[in-house]
Structure 1
C-alpha cells in the first residue's frame, strides 16, 4: 500500500512539473513571410528561461545556439521590443517540405511556471507566394544559406582554376557518393564526404527542385574578402559525384557583408554591402534594392519617402537609416552621464541577373547598433520674479527614464499635496517628457543671503535630480542652480495705543535677521528691555514690544491741561552698522499726568482758594503755560527758570519751586490773609550714570562735601535733606524765611537720562 502511494505521488509530480498545452496563448503570434516563418512571444509571458524545440516525426530537438546556426533557425531576445523571436528558414532541418511549395513547421515553446515547465505546441503551414529565384542567398544573423535550382547550368563567370581543380578531383575520386570540396583564396582543400562535412557544421540538402547549403559564420573553410572597402565573408564549395565516366558537379557560392555599420553626424545609421552579389561572379548587374526595418520590405522609392537614403557608389550599395525610423528602437544607458543608443533590425533584399539571365536574390538580416550617443537632459529657469516662486523645467527626458528623487540644497524632499513646492509631469508628442518644479522664494529649503554688492536679497536654490533608467533601475543625477534677486524692505512694526503706553508688533520674515532694532542709540535686547521696563515677547511668529508710558525713549509734546502726546520711535539699522534704513514712529494721546520729567519738566499744579494763573517759579518771570480755575500747568527746561541741580553719589536732582498766593474767602471778623505765600518744591531726579555727557565739559574739585538745605515756610514742616552738592543754573535771591513747601517726589520708575540738548548749561554757581 505504501509503495502504491509513492508511485502515485511520483506520477503526479511528473504531470505537474511538465504540462503540455495545445491552445496557443494570445501572447504568442505566428507569421508566414516570403522566405521564413516567424514566431514572436511576449517576454512578459515567456520570462527569461523560455526556449524552443523543433519537432518532426523522428523526435523533439532542443534549439540551442549551435544547433540553430546549423539547422536554419535564428532565436533572439528583443527586450526593447518586449518579445522573444524565432525565425525559421523554409529549408530548416525539421520542416515538412511539400515540393518546395508548402512548408509545415512544428515547434514547442517551453516556459518555466511556478517551479515547473509548461510546453505549448505550435504548428503552422506556409505557402510562399513569391516564386523561387534560380539562385537565392540568405545572410541571417547567425548563418548563411544558399540554394540553387537543380537544373542550373554551370555559371559562365566561374573561375577556370576552381572549375578545373574540381573536375580533376572528381575524376580522380574512386567513389560515386557525393563529396564536397571547399575553395579558399589560391588554396584547394581536400574533398570530404557529406557526412563528415555535417560533423564540421556544414549542412547539404537536396529537395525536389533545389540544392541547399547552410553554414554558420566563421567556419574554417570560409574566408573574409574586402570588396570595395566592405568586409565580406565568402563560402565557396563544389559538390560532385562520379557516375562511371560522368561527373556531376554543382558550384555553391555565398557572400555576405559583415559591415557593422557606422553612425554619421547627420543622424543616420549607415550600412554598406557590395553591389556585386557574388564577388566570385563579377558579371551580376542591374541590382534592384528593397529595404525595410523589422522584417517588412519596401521598394526603394517608398523607403526613400520614409527617410531612408539608398545610394550606389564605388561598387557598393550604401543604406542610410534615419535615427528615428519607424521600426527602430532606442535605449537609454548610464555611464556616468546619460547616453542612448539605437537598434535597427535591417532587412535588405538585392536582386540581380548575370550574363546567363539567371537571377540571384540575396536577403540580409542585420541588427545594427549605434555607438553610445550623449543624451543630455536640460533645465530651463522659467521663474517669474513677481510671483516670488522658483519655476524650473527639467526637459528632454526619454520615455524609459523617470524622476525618482529631488534634493533641494542637499536636503531630500518628499513632494505631497500639502507641500509648498510641487512637481508636475509634462508629456510631449516626441516620446519625451519633462518635469516642472515650483519652490517659493521664502521656502526653508531656499538659501537666503543679503548681497551688499546688489543691495538685494539673494535667493539660491541648488537642485539635484535623481533620474532612473528603466527597467534596469540604473540611477544618474542632474544638477542645476538658480538664483533670484529681490528687493527687500526694512521690517515695519504695527503700533497701537493703550491707556498705559504703546504696543508694537512685528511679524517675522525670513530675512529680518539682516536688521537690528534700536531704541535711540541702544540695541533692543532682552537685557535692555528688562533694564528700561519694557515688556518684550519674541517667538517664531512675531515680536511684541510693550512700552509703558514714561519709560526710556518717549518724547512728549502738546502738553495741556487736558492731556499730552507721547511719541515713541523704533529705529531699523543694517546689522552691524549705524546706517538707519527705516523707523516706526507712533504718537498717542494720554490723559493728564501729575508730573513729567523728560528734559523738559512739566508739572500740573492743582489748588483751591487761589488764582492759579498768578503762580510763579523761582524765576518770577516764569509763569504757567496754561491755567484754569483750580489747575496750572508749568513746562520748563530743567536748567531754566532758576532750577537748582543737586548732585549726590548716585543721583542728580533738578529742583524748582512753585509760589502762589492764598485767596481764601473769610468771614468778616477773620483777619486778612491774602498776602500769605505758599510754596511747593518740585524735583526731577536722574541716575548719575546717565549724565556722563551732560557734565563732559566740566571738572568738579572739592576737599569737602557741600551741604544743602531747604528753608520751609511756617505753614509746613521742614524736611531734613541729605548732604548734597547744589548747583544753581542762575544766581538766586534769598527767599523769605516764612515759607510753606510741599515736596513733590518723582517715582523711581520715572528716572530718565537727560537728552543731549541739555548738555550745555548757561552757568553753574557752587553754593
Structure 2
C-alpha cells in the first residue's frame, strides 16, 4: 500500500472513531406486543405502539446496494411510503407494493425491509422489520390509489413485439434517472399546454416512475407544479392530466397516467360526519357512454367491510345520482374518541379511517380500480367536567366529592389538598378514599373521600356549635399521551395567627447541619439555599440529608456541596457558610432566614472556587524524610505559599497566574499547576549529594466552558495517603478527579508479547495491533517495592477510547478485584504469589469496530495480606460514562497502557499501514541496504575481471 493510501485509511479510521463514540448505537428486536405487520390489498402495513418510539425516530429503508436511506416526507411521497397514525395514536406505516426498493418477483411476490431508528437518552436503537406478501387478487388493467401524501397509478404493460421485452430490462428504482428507462417520457397537460419531461427530469421534480415486469407505475405527491385542481359537477379533484410513452425504433408505447383524487373535506354536524365522493370520477373516464360500474365497497382501516357491519355500526352508505355518501355517527364503532387538552380545557376528537374502493369498466377487459384512504378527525369538542359534592352532612364525618366524566384514555394522576401534593398511594395511606367509578355511557368519574378531621381541612367557627369545614382540592389528570391537565376548586382562607419557625446550627466532621422547629405557616413556604430552590432533585444530586418529622425539620449539607459559600481559607481552616431561607411560594419574598457557619481543618485539601481561584494545602509529612513546606513554590518560582507552619503550606492563587497551564478538554477548561520542593545539594557548585526528599504535586481544576456556577469537591478525611482530591466547578456533569503525587514508587501496566509473559512491548512500540478474537496479555506492577514485603493487588481495570481515564464510553474489565465479562469481550485473571497480577482480555465483534483503538487503565495497590481474593461485588459488566470517582481507603496507583489498535482478521493475517515517519525510516534502511549491495557487487565484478585478465 502506498503512503498516500495509508494516510487516507488513517484519516478514515480517525474520522470513524470520532463519529462512532459520541453516541451509542445498538441493534435490537422489538419487545413482544410493541409492533405488528399485515399484508392488506396492495400495501404493507406496520404498526408500532405510540409510547415506544417517542418523539425522536425515523424510518429507513435499504437501496439496491444495501445502503440505508432515510424516508423523509419528500422521499416518502415520491416512493409510495406513508407515515401516519391509527385511530388510537399508534405509529402506522403503509408501503405500496410498487414502492421504491421493494423486492418485486413478477408482480406477484413482494418483500420489504425497513428499519426504525429510535433516539432515547443518548442511545440510538435500531429495529428491523421485514415483510413478505403475495398478491391475493389479480391486478386490474388500471389501478389508482389516493393516499394521504401521494397519488399512484399503475397500468398493465402490453408488449407489442416479442423481442421488445428483451431490450427493456426492468431496472431497480431509483437508478440514476429514476426507475424507468431513459427512453420513457412524461407529458403533462397544464392550462391547455403540453409539458414534456424526460424520466430523469420527472424524477428530479419529485415524481416516481417505474416499469415492472408487467406494469407501468407513475406516482405524484400532491400540489406539484404540474398538478391541477379541477371542479367537475360541483366536486373538487386534485389531479394530474398526463401520459407516459416509450419510444424506440419501430415501437412507440403510450400509457395513460392521468390521476384524480376527490379533495372535498367532510361535513360535520354536532352528532355525525358525512363524506361524499363523486359517483363517476369524470377525469378518469375516457368514454362516458361506455361506462359500467362494476363494484363499490366501503372499508375501515384499509380493509373492506360488508353490509352487516355497516348496519351494526350505524353507518349510512348510499349512492345518489351524483355522489356516494358515507354518514357516520360521532362515537360509532370503527372509530375512536380521543381525549384532548387545549389550554387546560378538556375535550374530545373522534377519529375514523375510511376506505372507499370503486371499480368500473369501459371495455370488457378494461377494468379500473380506484382506492381512496380517508383519515377523518372531527374538530375539538369541549367537554365541561362535572364536579359533584355528594354529601354535606356533618354527621358523615367526611367530604364526598367526584369529578367526571372522562373517557378511558384519561387517568387520575395525583391530588392536591390545600396545595399539598399527594400521589394516589400517599392519599390512600393518609386515610383518603380514592376510586375510579365507571358510568353507564362508558365514561369514568373520580371519587374522593376526605375526613373532616384531617389537618388539611380548614375549620372556621361561625356561631354557637357550628363550624365551617372547607376543602381545597385539585385533581391532576393525565392523558395516555402523557399530557397533564387539572381541575381546581379554589377556596380562600385568611389567617392572622402566624407563629414563625426557629432554627439552630450544628457542625459535623464533614457537613453543616440545620435544625429547624416548625411554626404554623412555614410548611407552605418554599425552602432555598442561597439562590437554589431546595427540591428533591437538588437534594439527591448533592447528597443532602433531609428529614421532616413532626415539628422538627433537619437538613445536613456535605462540605463542598452546591449552595455553600466560602468566607475564609487559611491554615486555621475553611470557614463555610450555609444561608437557608424560606420564601413565599408565589412572590418568593424571604419570610425566614437562618445562617449556619462551620470551620473545617485544611490538613489535606484542594478546592476550585467559582471565582477562578485555586486553593491547596501541601503536607511536609508526605515524604520520608519530611520536607520543609516553606521551601515549596508553584511553576512560577515567585509564587510562594500564602501561609506556612512547621508541617503545612497553603497556596491560594488565581487560575490565570503563577504559570498555570490551561487547555481544552471537550466542553471544559483544564487548569494545571505544580507544587515543587526546592532540594538543597552539596556541594553547591556541583550538586551531587542531598538529604531532601523529592516532591512534586500536580494541582488541577476543571471548569465547564458554559454552565451555572456551582461548587463541587471532595474532603479527604481518611488515613493520610499520597493523594489529594480536587473540587470541580460544574453542573450535572461534575466529576471528582483523582490526583497522583510523584514519589519513589513507579507503577506500570505492561502489554506482553506472548501468553507466557516473557517479553513486553516498550513505549516506542505503540500503538500495539490486536486482531479480534485473540488475547491481549497485560501485567500490572509497582517498581521499587521490596520483594516478599508486600503484594500488588489489581483493584479496577476499564477501557476508554481516549488516553483520559474519565473518557467515555467505559467498559469494566476488573471491578473490586473480580474479572468482568461482557457480550463482546471476556477477561481472565492470573494470580500467583511469585508474579505480579496478570490478566487476559479477548475482544470480539460489537465492543469496538475494527480500526478503532482503546486504552486500558487500572488501579493497583500494595497489600501485606497473604491471601487477597475477589470479593464478588456486582452481577455483571456495566458500561460507565466517565463517573468513576470512588474514594479509595488505601494508597493506590493509577496506570494506563495504549493505544491498542483493533484489526479485523483476513485469512489469519493482520494488515497495517506505515506512517510518514515509519515509511521514511524504512526508505533509508532500504536505500542503505541497496547501496551496500551495489558496492559489494561492483567489488566482486572488478575482482573477477582482474582474475580473468591475469
Residue-by-residue CA offset, 1:633-677 (whole Å, 9 max, x unaligned): xxxxxxxxxxxxxxxxxxxxxxxxxxxxxxxxxxxxxxxxxxxxx
1:319 corresponds, among 315, 322, 326, to: 326
Alpha carbons of 1:407 and 1:246: their partners in 2 closer, same or farther (altered >3 Å)?
A: closer
Contact 1:345/1:368 (8 A) holds in 2 = yes
C-alpha distance in structure 2 between counterparts of 1:421 and 1:48, whole Å: 37
Are residues 1:111 and 2:118 paired?
A: yes
SS at match of 2:77: helix
C-alpha distance in structure 2 between counterparts of 1:259 and 1:234, whole Å: 13
Report the count of equivalent residues. 454
Post-superposition offset of 1:244 = 6.2
C-alpha distance in structure 1 between counterparts of 2:242 and 2:109, whole Å: 28
SS at match of 2:258: strand
Alpha carbons of 1:57 and 1:402: their partners in 2 closer, same or farther (altered >3 Å)?
A: closer
2:144 corresponds, among 137, 145, 167, to: 137
1:279 corresponds, among 272, 280, 283, to: 283
1:194 corresponds, among 188, 199, 203, to: 199
- 1:435 matched residue in structure 2: 446
Are residues 1:64 and 2:68 paired?
A: no
- 2:845 matched residue in structure 1: none
1:53 corresponds, among 60, 63, 81, to: 60
C-alpha distance in structure 2 between counterparts of 1:211 and 1:321, whole Å: 37
- 1:366 matched residue in structure 2: 374
C-alpha distance in structure 2 between counterparts of 1:24 and 1:447, whole Å: 56
- 2:407 matched residue in structure 1: 398
Post-superposition offset of 1:398 = 2.8
Alpha carbons of 1:469 and 1:55: their partners in 2 closer, same or farther (altered >3 Å)?
A: closer
Are residues 1:258 and 2:269 paired?
A: no
Post-superposition offset of 1:14 = 6.9
Alpha carbons of 1:314 and 1:335: their partners in 2 closer, same or farther (altered >3 Å)?
A: farther
C-alpha distance in structure 2 between counterparts of 1:231 and 1:123, whole Å: 38
C-alpha distance in structure 2 between counterparts of 1:32 and 1:199, whole Å: 31
Alpha carbons of 1:296 and 1:151: their partners in 2 closer, same or farther (altered >3 Å)?
A: same
SS at match of 1:129: coil
- 1:333 matched residue in structure 2: 341
- 2:316 matched residue in structure 1: 309
Contact 2:411/2:479 (8 A) holds in 1 = yes
- 1:290 matched residue in structure 2: 297
C-alpha distance in structure 2 between counterparts of 1:129 and 1:193, whole Å: 34
Alpha carbons of 1:436 and 1:93: their partners in 2 closer, same or farther (altered >3 Å)?
A: closer
1:375 corresponds, among 383, 389, 403, to: 383
Q: Please provide the CA RMSD for this pair.
A: 4.0
Alpha carbons of 1:98 and 1:278: their partners in 2 closer, same or farther (altered >3 Å)?
A: farther
SS at match of 1:94: coil
Alpha carbons of 1:145 and 1:462: their partners in 2 closer, same or farther (altered >3 Å)?
A: same
Post-superposition offset of 1:13 = 7.4
Contact 1:18/1:119 (8 A) holds in 2 = no
SS at match of 2:303: coil
C-alpha distance in structure 1 between counterparts of 2:106 and 2:431, whole Å: 76
| Bigger shift: residues 62-71 or 465-474 | 465-474
Residue-by-residue CA offset, 1:253-299 (whole Å, 9 max, x unaligned): 22112233233222x23222212234342454436333333333212
Alpha carbons of 1:271 and 1:113: their partners in 2 closer, same or farther (altered >3 Å)?
A: same
- 2:82 matched residue in structure 1: 74
1:424 corresponds, among 425, 428, 435, to: 435
Alpha carbons of 1:98 and 1:403: their partners in 2 closer, same or farther (altered >3 Å)?
A: closer
SS at match of 1:92: coil
C-alpha distance in structure 2 between counterparts of 1:5 and 1:430, whole Å: 69
Alpha carbons of 1:13 and 1:319: their partners in 2 closer, same or farther (altered >3 Å)?
A: same
- 1:214 matched residue in structure 2: 219
Residue-by-residue CA offset, 1:152-211 (whole Å, 9 max, x unaligned): 99xxxxxxxxxxxxxxxxxxxxx9943221124x51223222221111122222222211
Are residues 1:180 and 2:186 paired?
A: yes
Post-superposition offset of 1:370 = 0.9
TM value normalised by structure 2? 0.43
1:95 corresponds, among 89, 94, 102, to: 102
Post-superposition offset of 1:252 = 1.8
C-alpha distance in structure 2 between counterparts of 1:409 and 1:131, whole Å: 68
Alpha carbons of 1:383 and 1:43: their partners in 2 closer, same or farther (altered >3 Å)?
A: closer
Contact 1:53/1:108 (8 A) holds in 2 = yes
Alpha carbons of 1:116 and 1:447: their partners in 2 closer, same or farther (altered >3 Å)?
A: closer
Alpha carbons of 1:449 and 1:273: their partners in 2 closer, same or farther (altered >3 Å)?
A: farther
- 2:273 matched residue in structure 1: 269
Contact 2:339/2:410 (8 A) holds in 1 = no
Matches within 5 A, 1:719-738: none
- 1:711 matched residue in structure 2: none
Residue-by-residue CA offset, 1:22-48 (whole Å, 9 max, x unaligned): 866543433222110123333444333
Post-superposition offset of 1:100 = 0.9
Q: Unaligned regions of 5+ residues in structure 1, if any? A: 154-174, 482-767
Post-superposition offset of 1:234 = 1.2
Residue-by-residue CA offset, 1:367-399 (whole Å, 9 max, x unaligned): 212101012221334327463644322221233
SS at match of 1:354: strand
Post-superposition offset of 1:92 = 0.6
Post-superposition offset of 1:21 = 4.3
Contact 2:59/2:114 (8 A) holds in 1 = yes
2:37 corresponds, among 22, 30, 38, to: 30
C-alpha distance in structure 1 between counterparts of 2:147 and 2:406, whole Å: 35
C-alpha distance in structure 2 between counterparts of 1:247 and 1:6, whole Å: 53
Contact 2:46/2:93 (8 A) holds in 1 = yes
SS at match of 1:303: helix
Post-superposition offset of 1:133 = 1.5
C-alpha distance in structure 1 between counterparts of 2:66 and 2:112, whole Å: 14
Alpha carbons of 1:270 and 1:480: their partners in 2 closer, same or farther (altered >3 Å)?
A: farther
C-alpha distance in structure 2 between counterparts of 1:466 and 1:38, whole Å: 37
- 2:705 matched residue in structure 1: none
C-alpha distance in structure 2 between counterparts of 1:7 and 1:200, whole Å: 35
2:253 corresponds, among 236, 240, 248, to: 248
SS at match of 1:343: strand
Alpha carbons of 1:305 and 1:142: their partners in 2 closer, same or farther (altered >3 Å)?
A: same
SS at match of 2:195: coil
- 1:350 matched residue in structure 2: 358
Contact 1:56/1:95 (8 A) holds in 2 = no
Q: Unaligned regions of 5+ residues in structure 2, if any? A: 1-6, 161-180, 492-950
Residue-by-residue CA offset, 1:588-617 (whole Å, 9 max, x unaligned): xxxxxxxxxxxxxxxxxxxxxxxxxxxxxx
Contact 1:238/1:251 (8 A) holds in 2 = yes
TM value normalised by structure 1? 0.52
- 2:698 matched residue in structure 1: none
Matches within 5 A, 1:649-668: none
C-alpha distance in structure 2 between counterparts of 1:346 and 1:451, whole Å: 66
Alpha carbons of 1:134 and 1:118: their partners in 2 closer, same or farther (altered >3 Å)?
A: same
Post-superposition offset of 1:351 = 2.2
Contact 1:338/1:476 (8 A) holds in 2 = no
Contact 1:20/1:121 (8 A) holds in 2 = no
